[in-house]
Amino acid sequence: MSKIDDLIREYCPKGVEYKELGEIGTIFSGLRGKSKEDFSDGNARYISYMNIYKNPSINLKCDDFVKILPNEKQTHIERGDILIAGSSETLFDSGMISIVTEEPIENIYLNSFCFGLRLNPNYLSEFLPSFLKHLFRDRNFREKVIGCSFGVTRYNLSKKLFLKIKIPVPPIPVQEEMIKILDRFVELEAELEAELEARKVQYEFYRGKLLLEKNNRQNMKLGSIYQFQYGTGNTIPTTGGEFPVYGSNGLVGMHSEYNSEDAPVIGHIGAYAGIVNWASGKHFVTYNGIICKHKNDSVLPRYAYYLLLVQKFGEKTKNASQPFISYKALNETEVLMPPLKEQERIVSILDRFDKLINDISEGLPAEIEARRKQYEYYRNKLLSFEELSYE
């Protein structure tokens, strides 16, 4: 950190100027006058809400297209543009921001649910886009943006209040050094995530190889291993409590009651029908999930769980108004069962893999989380500038 400290002492020992967003830039809107049909057969790329939400730097190679007619007056994005998701389902996600850090090689447009802030000409040389990328994801700045949002079932960002938010304008040499430091943290995290994805592919390969081996195994139906039962209630409990609540795809809340313990939960209905999750300890399963009660002493509970993971339940969903898994589809599914000793060996191998890629207290997920927290700590520390006083 000594170099950045030296640069601050050299270029801004008494602090830096803070400017309101409304002073440094001008608002522009996203796409206007577009209908649903315009997005079904497009000829030009556009930036979606999710593109902004997921990427501090906008992904210019997006696969979202919209139809733009010749001579149509729509604003296309430029390098340095600040893109804002102006509406969100949750307050925490409201006003998420991403920066156009590269020069687009084609005309790319902005979704109508978003808006942009384009730097005024006299401020273009005052900010590096990559510096803004880090600044606008900083915790302190996010709190200010969230404070400009209003709503009940949906939260909308007040442009008037947003433009009054002040941001620091540090000298370019200081911005450049901060970018080097913070980008390195991001690169390290990306490298770990890439390794994690590679490990997941490796894990799934060996899991299938170990569980689908046919030698010295007997056929068995899942109905002889588990008693399947749909969960309770079609709404997520809101009474609170000590027991985790599982729906169709994992943890969704807490409740004061439980109806299952240390067992898999299978998504029963909807888009996540057939998804399998392991629920540790006592937990509550809603009607969107299927309770799996182990009942066969010749099959280890963890081995039975791993068998569920390699089943293609998604292909067994019935096509009604929405997909769902039936008792019959589960009970009639056939699996291959080895002797107990072999089950123990396979579980030992798969548990080690599972811990490496899923355990948030150790393994790669823990290391990624540690890097993320380290990045957030230094980002907050680096971006906490003293405001220059003219008194």
Q: How far is CA 291 from the centre of its chain?
A: 27
With beta carbons less than 8 A apart as the criterion, state whether 88 and 96 touch: yes
The CATH architecture of the domain made up of 17-169 is: Alpha-Beta Complex (3.90)
- CA-closest candidate to residue 334, choices 214, 217, 223, 213: 223
With beta carbons less than 8 A apart as the criterion, state whether 143 and 391 touch: no
- CA-closest candidate to residue 112, choices 50, 34, 213: 34
Q: What is the 3-state secondary structure (H, E, C) of 238-284?
A: CCCCCEEEECCCCEEEEECCCCEEEEEEEECECCCCCCEEEEEEEEE
- CA-closest candidate to residue 105, choices 153, 60, 159, 64: 60
Tokens linked to 107: 């005309």
Mean per-residue pLDDT over the chain, rounded: 88
3-class secondary structure, 88: strand
Q: What is the DSSP string of 181-200?
A: HHHHHHHHHHHHHHHHHHHH
With beta carbons less than 8 A apart as the criterion, state whether 92 and 146 touch: yes
**Domain ranges for the chain:** 1-15+172-196+347-391, 17-169, 218-337
Task: Quick: pLDDT tens for 209-256.
Answer: 899 888 888 999 999 999 999 998 766 666 678 898 888 877 888 888
* pLDDT at res. 272: 83
Task: Quick: pLDDT tens for 124-171.
Answer: 899 999 999 999 988 889 999 999 988 877 888 999 999 999 999 999
* pLDDT at res. 173: 93
Cα–Cα distance measured from residue 292 to residue 311, given in angstroms and rounded to the nearest whole number: 14
Q: What is the DSSP string of 106-152?
A: S--EE-TTEEEEEEPGGGTTT--HHHHHHHTTSHHHHHHHHTTEEES
Residue 368: is its pLDDT beyond 80? yes
Reported residue count of the chain is 391
The CA-based dihedral angle spanning residues 235, 237, 243, 244, taken in that order and rounded to the nearest 10 degrees: 50
Task: Quick: pLDDT tens for 334-356.
Answer: 999 999 999 999 999 999 888 88
* pLDDT at res. 10: 82
- Helices then strands, each counted (H, E), the chain: 11, 22
| Mean pLDDT of all residues in 166-184 | 92
Global pTM reads: 0.67
Residue 363: is its pLDDT beyond 80? no
Task: Quick: pLDDT tens for 14-44.
Answer: 888 999 999 999 999 999 998 888 998 889 9
With beta carbons less than 8 A apart as the criterion, state whether 380 and 138 touch: yes
Of residues 90 and 100, more confidence is placed in 100
Name the amino acid, one letter, at 76: H
State the CATH class of domain 218-337.
Answer: alpha beta
**Own/partner pairs for 365-373, CB < 8 Å, 24+ apart?**
365/196, 367/192, 368/189, 368/192, 368/193, 368/196, 371/185, 371/188, 371/189, 371/192, 372/189
pLDDT band at 268 (very low <50, low <70, confident <90, very high): confident
Residues 6+ apart with CB under 8 A from 335: 219, 220, 221, 222, 225, 307, 311
Residue 79: is its pLDDT beyond 60? yes
Task: Quick: pLDDT tens for 280-325.
Answer: 899 999 888 999 999 999 999 999 999 999 998 877 776 656 788 8
Of residues 241 and 123, more confidence is placed in 123
3-class secondary structure, 332: coil
